[in-house]
A and B are shown apart, each in its own frame.
Chain A
Amino acid sequence: MCVAVPAKVIKVEEPWAQVDLEGTTFKINMMLTPEVKEGDYVLIHAGFSIQHLTPEEAKETLELWEEYYAKIQDL
């Protein structure tokens, strides 16, 4: 239940934000991370951003996923 995924903030319309998650756009509430700006990465849980990630930090998770998907396609 505590699943959370990183996504990129495309547009901020407080208290909402449009985020990009693997090419899909979602509307999330960002009141739990008020400092977040466009271009930042956030961790999303239950329709909320729950943590602000630096792009480098988010990249690590996203790269691991990319690698995982690439490996699956190779199988």
Chain B
Amino acid sequence: MPKSRTSKHRIESMLERISVRENIRLMEVCGTHTMAIARFGLKQLLPASIQLISGPGCPVCVTAQEDIERVLILAQNPRVLITTFGDMVRVPGSTGSLQEMAAQGANVRIIYSPLDAIALAQNNPNKEVVFLAVGFETTAPTVAMALEQAQKLGLENFSIVCLHKLVIPALIALLEDPEIQVQGFLCPGHVSTIIGTYPYEFIPKKYACGCVVSGFEPEDILESITLLVEQIKNNNFQVQNQYVRAVKPEGNKVALSLIEKYFEPTSVYWRGLGKIPQSGLKLKAPYIKFDALRKFNLVDVEVKVGPTGCQCGQILKGIKKSDDCPLFATICTPSSPVGPCMVSSEGACAASYYYRGGEVIAR
């Protein structure tokens, strides 16, 4: 944890500690880290031997295309008012995006908090207010709290499309994949605020892979990389908490018990990673009435997903980089995205696009 203000000296000393000859592959799991690394030019600061790869930590990016298509079908219903965090409205589906559907009259509202959806449901009794519950463990308790309110108020016109994902099962899937060779994870800071540091403990033990829970300031990230490099150099793999100011080893117990009250783990599809066991959340039986897909008979609807040429899947696993994709910065741009990694403000492609300046423009 930084004890003093950022200083040239401090950064120089960290850069000295990470100047290693052997190649090291680290993965930043969280999309907010991906964006911070790009914005502050941290990759350019690191020695060439250290490779930082972006992982599947952008919830919008990893939402399966089939789920997006179901949401688009739901949005066609004039009785439905879709509420969502901003990024989801621009993800393209086979019939356009939610944003495009809104332009044609669909009811779509961007909200800041799941509780805003509860207020909308109270104020619009003739509409079914559906919240797109996308996000990792950081966001799931806020949705659970909205469900708690809906339950208390006896709201019958509020439901969610439950697309929550869990980070730890995704890390296991990455560690088990022989194509992905990572020696250390920069673990997501705010997911860890909720889950704590204990759930990572098996990773160094079972997989000989480093874990450092990291904050989001450039100095935090640099320090976390330094800790990971030292673990690898010394062959001393463990879970370290760089972000102690926001992450307690036990996490946030109130939030965890709320998640447990309303949700249970289930196997779900991730874009790029396929089906991962117990890696998503679904509503527990007593709260199934809040399941929007069930309410509108869309659970088993077959949806067609056509090929787009988008390489998001490979990029989310760190196998390809954004500029390996022939669509990147040519026909796929933030104003006209083909895949979710370009849509989301935390997507690896958007980060590469925004912070590469001249190189991109030259294409």
Contact = CB atoms under 8 A, between A and B. Distances in A.
A30 B112 CA distance: 15
Interface string B139-177: 101100100000000000000000000000000000000
Interface residues of B, number: 47
A61 B242 CA distance: 13
B141 A50 contact: yes
A48 B145 CA distance: 9
Contact of B190 (A47, A50, A68): A50
A63 B255 CA distance: 28
B266 to A, nearest CB: 20
Interface in A19-75: 29, 31-34, 43, 45-48, 50-51, 53-54, 57-58, 60-61, 63-65, 67-68
Nearest to A63: B5
A51 B193 contact: yes
Interface stretch (B73-81, B100-108, B113-121, B206-214): B113-121
Given A45-B142, A46-B114, A2 B32 contact: yes
B139 A46 contact: yes
Given A43-B246, A51-B252, A1 B2 contact: no
Contacts of A51: 193, 246-248, 252
Given A43-B246, A51-B246, A53-B245, A31 B145 contact: yes
B193 A4 contact: yes
B254 A34 contact: yes
B5 A1 contact: no
B28 to A, nearest CB: 12
28 contacts: A1-B31, A1-B58, A1-B59, A1-B60, A2-B31, A2-B57, A2-B135, A4-B246, A31-B254, A32-B258, A34-B254, A43-B193, A45-B139, A45-B142, A46-B85, A46-B112, A47-B113, A47-B114, A47-B116, A48-B141, A48-B142, A48-B145, A50-B193, A53-B246, A57-B244, A57-B246, A60-B1, A60-B245
Interface of A: 1-4, 6, 29, 31-34, 43, 45-48, 50-51, 53-54, 57-58, 60-61, 63-65, 67-68
Interface of B: 1-2, 5-6, 30-32, 57-60, 85, 87, 112-116, 134-136, 138-139, 141-142, 145, 188-191, 193-194, 215-217, 219, 244-248, 252, 254-255, 258, 344, 346
